[in-house]
Amino acid sequence: MPSPFNKPVPNVPFFMPTSPLPPGSAVNLGPSTPTLFTPLKIRSLTFQNRIFVAPMCQYSTSPYLPTIGALTPYHVVTLGQYALKGSSLVFIEATAVTGNGRISPNDSGLWEDRQIEGVRKVCEFVHSVGGKVGIQLAHAGRKASTVAPWLGRERGKSVVTGEDVGGWPGNVVAPSAIAWSKEGYNMPREMTVVEIKEVVEAFAAAARRATLAGVDVIEIHGAHGYLLSSFNSPISNQRSDSYGGSFENRTRICREVICAVRSAIPASTPLFYRITSTEWMEDSPIAKGRGSWDVESSIRFAKLLPELGVDLLDRIMPHTNYQVQIAGRIRRELKISGLPLLIGAVGMITDAEQARDIVQGCDSTDNLGPTAIADAILVARQFMREPEWVLRVAWWLGVEVQWPVQFGRGRFLKGSKI
């Protein structure tokens, strides 16, 4: 007979009932359990399933002191619900390591100690329901000082912010003085070597603050044309010093950031890295003369990461058949080389069968086949539409998973149309 005592989760500053298993855990693991719902161990952490919530910018922090860049109860609610409803790892959005590294004045940040508390509150709640917290550390580079997407801009277009609303149009930096676009973005100034070194240290300092706040996983943002990504590309990086020119020079800041962050966090903490697998510029006129960042560049870069202490490479985008092939190719190249780097797939993952197929069989010894595309998936916008997406995917795939104990009476019924 069950005990009548509603046992609380220990070591959290509020009451939370304990759960037999973390939500989203397969209740009966067996040979027929889809890989998607099998545990994944990375360093000291074990994730109950392979479904992670990708970082999603929310543009919902104050642009002014004393709470500039600090997470609020809004972030506890939005991120907490994903963990409560079964995601094993929930990422806090792209978090700026310097004030001028924000995308918008309303981005979150971790460049000051006063910003630690907001992150700690997110960690406390997510941990209380059995989830893990990741944080994506970022610098927007030449895409900084723009407005939130719902403020006076057409879909897909950007608008710069002025100092009157907390922007910093005169302090946008990049590897070279080349704007992201002729419209909607500020003209950046080229960074000095001293400023580059300061940014490297800023990533390390933010990682230390994240660790103090209780974050479980650190991710470095090296994609989407932001600062680190801009250094990688010979199109946006036209420097002639030790940070430009050759592949080795262009990727130097990325390697320095990785090493600095790895040294700043415990050896038990997993380190992820997000990359743009290709900038799709191979056939452009400028690439004919300068080259571009392509799949071959990503493979070459990926092979450097395990030795630097990176555990998972994220941002291999599987939302078209061609991009599925890119993801599988990168993973295959790593496996052939015997490199222990996990792959996370992200981008337009929306349904159960698609999610299952991306990771199915990735743990088998014969894992070089076409179905072994990634080791985990990172889902973003589908969670905005369906915070309970993990539970729905489990239902569709016929997997019995642990529900939040408080929601037990609300389980999907047999034959339900969901």
Could you say which of 226, 243, 273, 322 is catalytic? 226
Instruction: Note if 59 is an active site residue.
Output: no
Determine how β-strand 342-346 pairs with β-strand 312-316: parallel
Distance CA 98, CA 269 (A): 23
Nearest Cα to Cα of residue 247 among 299, 176, 207, 196: 299
Based on the number of CB atoms within 10 Å of its own CB, is 33 exposed (0-12), middle (13-18) or buried (19 or more)? middle
Instruction: Report residue 251 as tokens.
Output: 């990727």
Q: Are 217 and 201 in contact (CB under 8 A)?
A: no
Q: Are 205 and 252 in contact (CB under 8 A)?
A: no
Q: What residues are annotated to the active site? A: 226
